[in-house]
Amino acid sequence: MINFEFYCPTKVFFGRGQHKRVGEIIRNYGFKKVLLHYGGGSIKKTGLYDEVVKALNDAGIDFVELGGAQPNPVLGLVKKGIEICRKENVDLVLAVGGGSAIDSGKAIAVGAANDCDPWLFFSKKKEPERALPIGTILTLSATGSETSTSAVITNEELKLKRGLNTDLNRPLFSILNPELTFTVSPYQTACGIVDIMMHTVERYITQKGEAEVTDRIAEAVLKSTIQAGRKALKNPEDYEARATLMWAGSLSHNGLTGLGRDYFMVSHQIEHEISGMFEKVAHGAGLAVVFPAWMKYAYKYNIPRFCQYAVRVWNCEMDYENPENTAIAGIEATIDFFREIGMPTTLRELDVPEDSIEEMAVKCTNYGERILPGYIEYGKKEIIEILRLCL
Ligand code: NZQ
Ligand code: ZN
């Protein structure tokens, strides 16, 4: 096990009806003025908006609001939110929605507390020094943003999607009521299943670090996500299945599933270029395309680890004579599952044209400034080769 630090301070309020406590929770922290931030309107359709407003009013919490965070949230709205926070003396950002509303809220919280262009933080030109606190009410199990250090924002002018990782992004509290995810569409549910699995598996199939307890936690997250995913798709109002997905999502990306190992999320980095350039691509769907290609590209560099994944997660039989067969069986099982839950596995299905591959690869190297670490080093050439396997 290699050395690690673990810090996950988000207070979680989990279970049925918990969102109705949001006013009381905020009042107990002593905040006075809230920015209520949300997405494109699902919270109005489901009635959640009215419940949140009532809870805030009942607790005497003053608030202003900003809706419109789109899937793959953009910098323009973040800047608008920052202006509102400053003008209205907001002391807490409350993001209600999926990863996009939460990430947009995180970027607003960081931007409002630092006096500079927020893109400097996302382009890694500057480190933020402070942030407004953020609370969340999660409505989609997927990104783990409700407990993670990350916020991912697209600069719509540059068509660049970039993440900011900092402890300042950890929400102060997150309210997780699985019932709020009953209305998530089958497609978004499946995207979420893939994303939860990828946060776990990208920390699992790594080169360095023996960490048996971390392996077993990761395997539990993966296996329960696969099982609950199938159930939730069959019956969207299966509370236990939705609860499993919700908690698995939070555990998958709060750092727990990678402790004691060295990892770098290569498929995530490549996917962000796809959904950054093509805003209609959902992050989870992009991952379902990139990850199988990465596996096919990389498995030869660590066959024992791919065999462990195949045997322990997918119950593949170990071929001791020819372990490569087992590694390949694990890759095939992953692809079969993605197809079973209705995910695309090729760029064509995402409507991403072949002639955009070169540009995505160049952007993924930050225009030649970085090489992604991993089993091998991934520069422009290797990223192009992986993207070509996605065709
Ligand atoms: O915008 P609204 O109207 O709310 O509709 C959303 C959106 O259309 C809808 N939705 C959400 N909850 C719903 C619902 N519809 C019905 N009922 C509900 N209860 O679902 C659609 C997708 O929502 P979105 O928030 O975009 O999805 P997701 O949670 O997958 O977030 C994706 C974003 O998070 C980033 C991704 O790159 C992408 O930009 N990520 C953030 C991470 C983080 N901060 O830690 C890590 C991830 O790896 C990821 O990169
Ligand atoms: Zn992800």
The three-state (H, E, C) secondary structure of 116-147, written as one string: CCCHHHHCCCCCCCCCCCEEEEECCCCCCCCC
The three-state (H, E, C) secondary structure of 66-93, written as one string: ECCCCCCCEHHHHHHHHHHHHHHCCCEE
State whether the beta carbon of 97 lies less than 6 angstroms from ligand 1. Answer: yes
Q: What is the DSSP string of 293-323?
A: HHHHHHGGG-HHHHHHHHHHHH-PPP-SS-H
pLDDT value of residue 375: 85
Residue 384 tokens, joined: 């192009």
Taking the centre of ligand 1 as the mean of its atom positions, its distance from the CA of residue 182, in whole angstroms, is 15
Q: What is the CATH number assigned to the segment(s) 11-180?
A: 3.40.50.1970
Check if the beta carbon of residue 118 is closer than 8 Å to that of residue 63: no
The CATH architecture assigned to 186-389 reads Up-down Bundle (1.20)
Check if the beta carbon of residue 110 is closer than 8 Å to that of residue 128: yes
| Domain ranges (residues) in the chain | 11-180, 186-389
Taking the centre of ligand 2 as the mean of its atom positions, its distance from the CA of residue 195, in whole angstroms, is 5
Please name which ligand lies nearest the alpha carbon of 192: 1
Residue 317 tokens, joined: 């039989």
pTM over 0.85: yes
Q: How many CA atoms lie within 13 A of 251 on its CB side?
A: 18
Rounded Cα gap, residues 143 and 134, in angstroms: 16
State whether the beta carbon of 181 lies less than 6 angstroms from ligand 1. Answer: yes
**Side chain identity at 340, as an amino acid letter?**
E
> 189: which residues sit within 8 A by CB, 6+ positions away?
141, 181, 229, 232, 233, 236, 245
Helix (H) or strand (E) holding 173: strand 173-176
Check if the beta carbon of residue 21 is closer than 8 Å to that of residue 182: no
Give 10-residue mean pLDDT values along the chain (391 residues).
95 98 98 97 97 98 98 98 98 98 98 97 97 98 98 97 97 98 98 98 89 97 98 98 99 96 94 97 98 97 96 98 98 98 98 97 96 93 98 96
β-bridge partners, 176: 14, 138
pLDDT value of residue 208: 79
Going by C-alpha positions, the residue among 179, 290, 331, 200 that lies closest to residue 243 is: 179
> To test ligand 1's pocket by mutation, which of 78, 100, 170 has the most ligand atoms within 8 angstroms of CB?
100
State whether the beta carbon of 184 lies less than 6 angstroms from ligand 1. Answer: yes
Rounded Cα gap, residues 353 and 362, in angstroms: 16
Taking the centre of ligand 2 as the mean of its atom positions, its distance from the CA of residue 88, in whole angstroms, is 33
pLDDT value of residue 164: 98
> To test ligand 1's pocket by mutation, which of 147, 283, 287, 289 has the most ligand atoms within 8 angstroms of CB?
283
In whole angstroms, how far apart are CA 218 and each of 254, 255, 339, 352? 12, 11, 22, 31
pLDDT value of residue 359: 97
Residue 143 tokens, joined: 């990104």
- Give the Cβ contact number of residue 255 at 10 Å: 19
